[in-house]
Amino acid sequence: MHKRYLLSFLLFLFTFHLSYAQPDRWQQRIKYNINVKVDVKADKFGGTEQIDYWNNSPDTLRKVFFHLYWNAFQPNSSMDVRSRELGKTELGSDKQGNPILDWDDRVKDRISKLTDSEIGFQHVQIIKIEGIEQKIINHETILEVRLLKPILPKTKVSLEVTFDAQVPVQIRRSGRNNAEGVRYSMSQWYPKMVEYDYQGWNANPYIAREFYGVWGDFDVKINIDKKYMVAATGILQNPNTIGFGYEDAGVKVPALIGNTITWNFKGENIHDFVWAADTAYKHISKKVNGVTLNAFYKAGNGAQDTVWQNVLWAAEKVLPFIESKFGKYPYPQYSFIQGGDGGMEYAMATLIKGPSLGTVFHEWMHNWYQQILGTNESLFAWMDEGFTTWAEGEVSYYYKSKWASLSPYSSLAEKNDIAEKVEKLNTRLPLHQADSYRGYNYLVKSGLEEPLTTHADHFNTNFAYSQAAYSKGSVFVAQLGYILGDSVRDRILLEYYQQWKFKHPNINDFIRVAEKVSGLSLQWYKEYWVNSTKSIDYSIGNIDIVNNKTTITVKRAGKMPMPIDVLVTFKDGTQEMHYIPLNLMFGEKPAENNIPRTVHEEWKWTHPEYQFTTNRGIKEIKSIEIDPTKRMADINSGSDKLVVPN
């Protein structure tokens, strides 16, 4: 074949492969050019947004919406009233008999007590499209824009937004003067265009959680008092005139003229932008495989410097492991920024209260499940928080078992404590995921469980939301390893990343990837675990002797069916694994270890009992155990094992 035609043919095959491998889902696109000037004495700022917006949908848009998050931080706002109402709910009593109330401890009734100088607000004065002023209607934290001229499918429009804002005292995520003394934690700080997707407008008022946005490019200029160091999403465009540790090696930063300086950051292919500022920030960084890792924290004593140095040391060690399990980090930098009220993820950065590595790993993993995959957190909060919690456990276990004892920033006492915990973790899996299993079990037995399909803001209790999104969502991933095998589950996660990065996947998208990789049917798992509150409960039933063989009965008391592993251990030390596939799967998982395995006839989900036979007699059996790895979330695991009397 002629070289030119061969090249064309190969290009065709490559294009065909990509079109086959990558799901086709349209995405809106946006480009922000934001310019603000901050008055640090008044804690206010104002500015403009120049926005290019591409309507890539097949729909004609007759209105658009913006989020104005900070309007939630005012007395009698929806966030305020909702928080105080949930705070009336009693979840039980403590040891002293005092009622346990369903507060979010960070918020409680604090918003109701804010003065005019402490509240937050975002006011949009005017919005123009192609130079023509549009009609705007305020709905507290949502701004409705009724378009004079509709935006047609497959077209682009330009918007100009003029706005001003007051930074609230630190209540939730964003604000000023947090408990650690950071002056500004600037998240959800700009009028942010609401995402329009295959389900329509996602104009969710800011009640408590979560966030969802349009992917695009940000060019942000922040003019602020020159005493402040700024940490932000994206790449600083003028480092050699700014300084503060951003400048290139050997560059002498010119003296600053005037009282303010303008910081210019750019970020590409992201759906949010965060920044923070303080006069006492310290900036440390290192490069790892082409990624610049930064830490920004309030300068203090040497011990504080050491723990933040440990953050970057640990991040350097775990990044190759993270990319091998979850996909390549696609951005040029990531920053761990002290600020906010705990830990909260944003594009290329997290606001984090302190240098706890558990929180560090959790928030960093959010950049995969919230920023890169970008699932709608209001509708599928558990697909972000749950997958991230599971990933945090894997990363933490890897770090503790491989690197923690080698850290030059940890004391000998800390290293010994870590070694002791790792030894316990190695005794039985999934102990490094045990908190999620305990949280889920607690949720089931509380009687407050609601389906994972519940909108994040509409759970009846903060407790039920938290345990569902974090614990039950994490168990979804861990338990998938039981259903399909850990190695298959891990391949699914990588393929999920490859197929759905930057596309806002939902649970159906994930299940289809899992089915294609595993070759098994999994719709039943979604229906039971996600769409219902039915639980798993299996136990060992009767043991009968027939012709010197042992027949074992397994009983299902819970309403959720599962494939079943049963380990039979004999007194001579040998073992047999008996695997019972679930008929709804139409197949079986691969063997996971070297224990001899028998694959039995499938268990029909309608049948509450199942019997299987081992060729050895009852007197030879030491124990019979359902799911010896404890990855199946059985709510009564105490009945899963039977020790045969001598």
Kindly report, residue by residue over 551-606, the tens digit of the pLDDT: 999 999 999 999 999 999 999 999 999 999 999 999 999 999 999 999 999 999 99
Q: What is the pLDDT of residues 267-293, one digit of tens each?
A: 999 999 999 999 999 999 999 989 999
Predicted pLDDT of residue 289? 87
**Residue stretches of the chain with pLDDT short of 50:** 1-20, 427-429
Q: How far apart are CA 306 and CA 155, in angstroms?
A: 52
Domains 22-74+120-276 and 538-643 share a fold: yes
Q: Give domain 538-643's CATH number out of 1.20.120, 3.40.50, 2.60.40, 3.30.1340.
A: 2.60.40
**Kind plus residue range of the DSSP H or E element containing 415:** helix 412-425
3-state secondary structure of 520: coil
Locate tokens 């700009």: which residue? Answer: 190
386 to 391, 467, 471, 473: CA distances (angstroms): 9, 9, 6, 4
Distance CA 67, CA 22 (A): 31
Residue 436 CB partners (closer than 8 Å, separation 6+):
389, 390, 393, 470, 471, 472, 474, 475, 478
Q: How far apart are CA 33 and CA 14, in angstroms?
A: 35
**Sign of the dihedral defined by the CA atoms of residues 465, 466, 469, 471, in that order:** negative
Give the separation between CA 224 and CA 221, rounded to whole angstroms.
10
Please check whether residue 607 is in contact with residue 582, taking contact to mean a CB–CB distance below 8 angstroms. no
Q: Are 311 and 352 in contact (CB under 8 A)?
A: no
Closest C-alpha among 271, 525, 309 to residue 409: 309
CATH topology of domain 22-74+120-276: Immunoglobulin-like (2.60.40)
| Alpha-carbon span 551 to 571, nearest angstrom | 17
Helix (H/G/I), strand (E/B), else coil: 614: strand
pTM of the model: 0.94
User: What residues contact residue 30 under an 8 Å CB cut-off, 6+ apart?
Assistant: 51, 52, 53, 54, 193, 214, 215, 216, 217
pLDDT at position 430: 57
List the one residue out of 285, 461, 295 whose CA is nearest residue 363. 295
Which residues neighbour 471 within 8 Å (Cβ) at sequence distance 6 or greater? 386, 389, 435, 436, 437, 438, 439, 440, 442, 443
3-state SS record for 264-319 = EEEEEEECCCCEEEECCEEEEEEEECCEEEEEEEECCCHHHHHHHHHHHHHHHHHH
Three-state DSSP at 32 gives: strand
Query: In angstroms, rounded to a whole number, what is the distance separating the alpha carbons of residues 515 and 511?
Result: 6
What's the Cα-to-Cα distance from 498 to each of 361, 494, 503, 506, rounded to whole Å? 21, 6, 10, 15
Contact yes or no for 515/507 (Cβ under 8 A): no
What's the helix, strand, coil split of the chain in %, to 5? 30, 30, 35
Residues in the chain: 646
Sheet bearing 549-556, strands edge to edge: 538-546, 549-556, 609-614
Distance CA 221, CA 548 (A): 81
d(CA 202, CA 144): 12
For the chain, domain boundaries: 22-74+120-276, 82-113, 412-530, 538-643
In the prediction, which pLDDT does 645 show?
A: 83
Look at residue 156 in the predicted model and tell me its pLDDT. Answer: 97
Contact 511, 526 (CB under 8 A): yes
Are 140 and 77 in contact by the 8 Å Cβ rule? The answer is yes
Closest CA relative to residue 411, chosen from 258, 307, 542: 307
Residue matched to tokens 């104005």: 68
Radius of gyration of the chain (CA): 27
C-alpha torsion angle, residues 283, 315, 371, 104 (rounded to 10): -80
pLDDT at residue 9, as a whole number = 44
- Residue pair 205/68 in contact (Cβ under 8 Å)? The answer is no
